Amino acid sequence: MITHFQYNSLYSNKQMPGWRISFYFKKKKLSGIYHPDGKIEWTSEPPLQEDEELLIKQIHELMLFHVYDQ
């Protein structure tokens, strides 16, 4: 389960897509860049391969809720 999810725009012009994301998963802080096409570029150590698919799905849902459904 993702906790303490945060996102910030990559650009001063907040209308441009691209966000820095950070959160905790299994007591480990993870961070990355969420690109407009949904691709995640990890800026921290990437999650374990067996967790990555689940995390990406949860991040997409959070971004849809917080960014795209406003």
Residue by residue, pLDDT tens for the chain (70 residues) are 999 999 999 988 877 789 999 999 999 999 999 998 999 999 999 999 999 999 999 999 999 888 866 5
- DSSP structural state of residue 14: T
CB of 56 closer than 8 Å to CB of 32: no
Q: Report the alpha-carbon distance of residue 65 to residue 48 in Å, rounded.
A: 25
The kind and range of the H/E element at 8 are strand 2-9
- DSSP structural state of residue 19: E
pTM of the model: 0.87
Coil vs helix vs strand at 42: strand
